[in-house]
Amino acid sequence: MMIEFNKGSGIVLYEGSAEQSKYATAVCNMIVEASKDKNTALALRTIEYIEEKIKAEKAIIALHRDKVIGFCYIETWEHGKFVANSGLIVSPEYRKTGLAQAIKEMAFKLSEKKYPEANIFGLTTSAAVMKINSRLGYTPVTFSELTTDDNFWRGCESCKYFDILQRTKRKHCLCTAMVYNPMKLKTNGTAHKMNENDHKTNEEKSTISL
């Protein structure tokens, strides 16, 4: 599946596949550069790890005329009980265009399709990402409501703020934890949706092809 973002811009979003695995190095370079920002808590990943996610169709890649400008990937924990849309990143020159929101929404829908009953969660220091998450139906939670899988928390070791997580025994860090719980929403008789203006904006910006 691919989405043309902002018709005529030359920006296209793809669900990962073996064909897109060639972009893994460029994605890793983006992550390294973004992690240098003192206000960003971003875990580093190896080229092999990113390549694996892309090949497994668990990633979203944004390209502008074959240049990688955005990325996000899916991780699963506790046999699919928890799903994380991780590593959301957009090149600086493409920020504040709605691209991050488009990538996040596409990753969210892919997660729902693959794991319809999973709790979809995220950790972020970005106010922009928190707003996007809120529109999708995420709510802030304590770290105790996230997966207890040690492999997930080991993924935070490459973050420059990992020592805070260690000192607090995983109780809190600079990141805010947010969760989308589909079972809870069904029980309450509600469903996630972007507000009317967001839907209108997205329809104007994007066309979808299967």
Query: Which stretches of 42-122 are DSSP H helices?
Result: 47-55, 99-114
Look up residue 82 and give its two tokens: 């928890």
CB 62 within 8 A of CB 5: yes
**The tokens 């504040």 sit on which residue?**
96
Structure pTM? Answer: 0.80
156-165, 174-183, 185-194: segment of lowest average pLDDT: 185-194
Highest mean pLDDT among 21-25, 29-33, 159-163: 21-25
CB 75 within 8 A of CB 84: yes
CB 3 within 8 A of CB 98: no
Domain of residue 160, residue span:
2-205
Residue 98 in domain: yes
Buried b (16+ CB within 10 A) or exposed e, 9-39: eebbbbbbeeebbebbebbbebbeebbeeee
Residue 210 in domain: no
133-173, pLDDT tens digit by residue?
999 999 999 999 999 999 999 988 888 889 999 999 999 99
Q: What is the mean pLDDT of residues 86-104?
A: 92
Helix (H) or strand (E) holding 76: strand 67-77
Residue 7 in domain: yes
CB 195 within 8 A of CB 101: no
Q: Output the domain CATH number for residue 14.
A: 3.40.630.30
Q: What is the mean pLDDT of residues 43-67?
A: 94
Q: How many independent structural domains does the chain possess?
A: 1
Residue 154 in domain: yes
Residue 75 in domain: yes
Q: What percent of the chain has pLDDT over 70?
A: 87
CB 20 within 8 A of CB 14: yes
pLDDT range class, residue 207, cuts 50, 70, 90: very low
